[in-house]
Amino acid sequence: MRTLVLNAGYEPLAVVSFKRALVLVMNDKATVVERLEGEPVWAASGSWERPAVIILTRYVRVPGSTHVPVTRRGVLRRDAQRCGYCDKSATTIDHILPRSRGGADSWENLVACCLRCSNVKGDRTPQEMGWELRVAPRPPRGPQWMVRGTDRSDPRWEPYLALAA
Ligand SMILES: [Zn+2]
């Protein structure tokens, strides 16, 4: 069970374990915005709601890193699991400029790809295949990318993630 932590300005900040969230609430560092269904949690200090979303009572400055590391899962997620060439369901990723020809492991050079296109394309470029990319691959942006752990999102988090996007 995990909890979305919002900064005092409602920006999504982090995803933490529900225990860690509860400690923040118990220490008056945060208050519960959305709670989970079910029994409250009992601690020495009384009963506590299970937090789904909490908000920090004081604003935290975040060092402004906008770099999202490239991962296979991230590329599939960015492209909504659709093949960049044929729009069918994608299960793999493709180096647009093949690795064997100096293609980088970058957001710009990777695209979600179905197995069929991947096999047919092999070590060729889309130009050589006469293929066109449906999308212009870019590094992803937005809080759902900056905050680790939001890809397995809870429905109760969605309004807060959408608000900040
Ligand atoms: Zn395809």
For 85-139, what is each residue's pLDDT tens digit? 999 999 999 999 999 999 999 999 999 999 999 999 999 999 999 999 998 899 8
pLDDT above 70: residue 63 = no
What is the distance between the alpha carbons of residues 151 and 132, in angstroms, rounded to a whole number?
29
pLDDT at residue 102 in the model = 92
Distance 108 CA to ligand 1 centre (A): 18
Cβ–Cβ < 8 Å for 53, 160: yes
Distance 116 CA to ligand 1 centre (A): 6
pLDDT at residue 61 in the model = 75
pLDDT above 80: residue 68 = no
Of 74, 78, 72, the C-alpha closest to 135 is 78
Distance 109 CA to ligand 1 centre (A): 16
pLDDT at residue 47 in the model = 82
User: How distant is the alpha carbon of residue 118 from its chain centre?
Assistant: 25
Distance 124 CA to ligand 1 centre (A): 14
Distance 92 CA to ligand 1 centre (A): 10
**Antiparallel, parallel or unpaired: β 51-56 and 2-6:** parallel
Distance 78 CA to ligand 1 centre (A): 16
Q: Which two tokens stand for residue 87?
A: 């729009």
Confidence of residue 75 (pLDDT cuts 50, 70, 90): very high
pLDDT above 70: residue 36 = yes
Distance 151 CA to ligand 1 centre (A): 24
What are 3's strand-pairing partners? 16
